[in-house]
Structure 1
Amino acid sequence: MAVESARNGSVELVYESVGPPGGEPLLLVMGLDSPMRWWPDGFCFELADRGFTVVRFDNRDTGRSTRTVGRLCGGTSWATAAYSAQDMIEDAGAVLDALGWRSAHVVGQSLGASIAIGLGLRHPDRVRTVVSLSGLPRGYRLAEAARYVDPLGLLRMARVTARRPRTREQEVRQQVKLARMQAARSQSFDERWARETAKQVTADGPSDPATPARQLAAIRTGARLLRHPERLTAPLLAIHGAEDPLLRPSAAAALARAVPGGRALVFAGMGHEVPRRLWSVLADEIARNADRSRVLAQ
């Protein structure tokens, strides 16, 4: 995969591309505190096989993109709003600019789904279609999100992340444990892939325990925009796992109902993840959603 970078002001955004140069442009946006390496290579190749030129990038504050230096607010678990939802949305737009793409299909996972939807709402001319994977229908404003969040799942994750790793090996083990917790319990867990990915992620740079709070604080600044998905004009597909331990599958149905012409799919044996056994199926559905934009353009 070719590795390049884009800039949004002082922020450098590292991205990778795969697939035919002349393919349909498709941008992948990863979730909370998750570098682009958590988009499986094999899934990217499945999309490329369907004629897409696929680009994934590290959101600011993750991976090899610009990290934010800051501290948590005193006595709270929230960070100061070091940047905003609009900043993260414009980061995605900056990647499109660097690629010379006037528009693209955008696929976002978890918090990345909110960025994808936000890009479609703020810059509708730049987004051909939107696919939300394990996303929320109206952003991360507590009053809007509470009905879709599984508090026990979040509590289990919080217990793991509360222990700050002291060595790189401890960080790798922690990330593998988190990946396992997000996976469907009814299916075998691909620990080898998770461990190799975690090793690559930690080699790119140590994690910052404040990053999740900063990114959540940022997305919450976009509550006014994200609470109106009905204004989205791009064809939308909301995909969710029936075994998602963090966000309830009803979130996909709610998002699809809110967006005119929106569709929702819930897959058995899928958690808060992009599982190997569904790569081909998910790629087919993303391609099918892309076909809708071509039909509408006729």
Structure 2
Amino acid sequence: MAVESARNGPVDLAYETVGPPGGEPLLLIMGLDSPMRWWPDGFCAELADRGFTVARFDNRDTGRSTRTAGRPCSAAGRAGAGYSALDMIEDARAVLDALAWPDAHVVGQSMGASIAIGLGLHHPGRVRTVTTLSALPRGFRLAEVARYVDPVGLARMARVTARRPRTRQQLLRQHVALARMQAAGSQPFDERWATETARQVLADGPSDPAASARQLAAIRTGSRLLRHPERLGVPLLAIHGAEDPLVRPSAAAALARAVPGGRAIVFGDMGHEVPRRLWPALADAISRNASRARILAQ
């Protein structure tokens, strides 16, 4: 797959497409400090098999997209080299523009789900449907989402990310450890895939420990932008894992209730991940949500 580039102001956004050129357009948005490689190739192929032309891209500060130097933006807004949630929403819009897609189905995972919802709220004409995976209902402001996050899981993740790897091998192991702790504990962990993906991620560019802090600060400062999912005017499907160690499954129900006509699905053997064993079921669910837009358009 050839990597191409979209531009939003000073930011270049690496993206690639999978599937037939004439398929239904579908944009994938990955989560916190996670480049597009964490959308598995096999999952993208499952979506392509259902008639979608799939695009995935590296959020700013990840992968082969523009990296930002400096500290995270402050709670009050931009500061120094910081950026905002709206900037990240406009990044997704810029990828649609580069693809010459007037509109698309949008699928977001974790933080990417907030960007997907934000895109639907701020550019409603560009979004056909929204499907979220492991989403919080109203952005990432702690006071609004505390009931939905698992403090034990967050503490485990913090312990992993608190380590400062000194070698490339240590950094590789940290990436794999994060993938493992986010996976469903009742199922075998695909360490081979996680290790190979982590190697590719590290080959794409240097790791920046401050990138996740900048992205998280951006989404938190955009809490007002994301506070009203009930204004989303397209079909929404909230997918969640019953074994998600970071975000409780009740978040999916809350998000579905907030959006008129919203629906939720909870998979019993899924964590904060896109696991191989569920690729067909996830692709089917996304396809069914897309069909709701076709029905409404008739």
State TM-score, norm by structure 1.
0.97
Question: 5 Å matches for 1:146-295?
Answer: 146-295=146-295
Q: Distance in 1 between matches of 2:253 and 2:100?
A: 34
Residues 73 and 217 of structure 2 are in contact (CA less than 8 Å); yes or no, is this contact kept in structure 1?
no
Question: 5 Å matches for 1:47-126?
Answer: 47-71=47-71, 82-126=82-126
Q: Distance in 2 between matches of 1:87 and 1:243?
A: 32
Query: Which deviations, in whole Å up to 9, do the C-alpha atoms of 1:83-108 show, x marking residues without a partner?
Result: 00000000000000000000000000
How much identity, in percent, do the aligned residues show?
A: 82
Partner of 1:136: 136
Partner of 2:31: 31
Q: Distance in 1 between matches of 2:223 and 2:121?
A: 12
Shift in Å at residue 206 of structure 1? 1.6
Residues 154 and 246 of structure 1 are in contact (CA less than 8 Å); yes or no, is this contact kept in structure 2?
yes
Residues 243 and 268 of structure 2 are in contact (CA less than 8 Å); yes or no, is this contact kept in structure 1?
yes
Q: Which runs of 5+ in 2 are unaligned?
A: none
Query: Which deviations, in whole Å up to 9, do the C-alpha atoms of 1:24-70 show, x marking residues without a partner?
Result: 00000000000000000000000000000000000000000000001
Q: Which amino acid aligns with 1:265?
A: I
Judged with a 3 Å threshold, the aligned counterparts in structure 2 of structure 1 residues 73 and 263 are, in CA distance, closer, same or farther, namely closer
3-state SS in 2 of match to 1:138: strand
Q: Distance in 1 between matches of 2:45 and 2:23?
A: 13
Q: Distance in 2 between matches of 1:274 and 1:31?
A: 11
Shift in Å at residue 143 of structure 1? 1.1
Q: Distance in 1 between matches of 2:23 and 2:80?
A: 40
Shift in Å at residue 173 of structure 1? 0.5
Q: Distance in 1 between matches of 2:81 and 2:137?
A: 22
Shift in Å at residue 169 of structure 1? 1.1
Shift in Å at residue 159 of structure 1? 0.8
Q: Distance in 1 between matches of 2:124 and 2:226?
A: 14
Q: Which amino acid aligns with 2:91?
A: D
Q: Distance in 1 between matches of 2:291 and 2:54?
A: 16
Partner of 1:145: 145
Q: Which runs of 5+ in 1 are unaligned?
A: none
Q: Distance in 2 between matches of 1:161 and 1:190?
A: 20
Residues 71 and 81 of structure 2 are in contact (CA less than 8 Å); yes or no, is this contact kept in structure 1?
no
Shift in Å at residue 80 of structure 1? 6.4
Query: Which deviations, in whole Å up to 9, do the C-alpha atoms of 1:179-231 show, x marking residues without a partner?
Result: 00000000000000000000000011121111111001101121112110000
Shift in Å at residue 71 of structure 1? 3.0
State TM-score, norm by structure 2.
0.97
Q: Which amino acid aligns with 1:155?
A: A
3-state SS in 2 of match to 1:71: coil
3-state SS in 1 of match to 2:181: helix
Residues 230 and 260 of structure 1 are in contact (CA less than 8 Å); yes or no, is this contact kept in structure 2?
yes
Q: Distance in 1 between matches of 2:80 and 2:163?
A: 22
Root-mean-square deviation (CA, aligned residues, Å) is: 1.4
Q: Aligned pair count?
A: 295
3-state SS in 2 of match to 1:28: strand
Q: Distance in 2 between matches of 1:121 and 1:72?
A: 25
Query: Which deviations, in whole Å up to 9, do the C-alpha atoms of 1:221-279 show, x marking residues without a partner?
Result: 21112110000001000000000000000000000000000000000110000000000
Judged with a 3 Å threshold, the aligned counterparts in structure 2 of structure 1 residues 80 and 262 are, in CA distance, closer, same or farther, namely farther
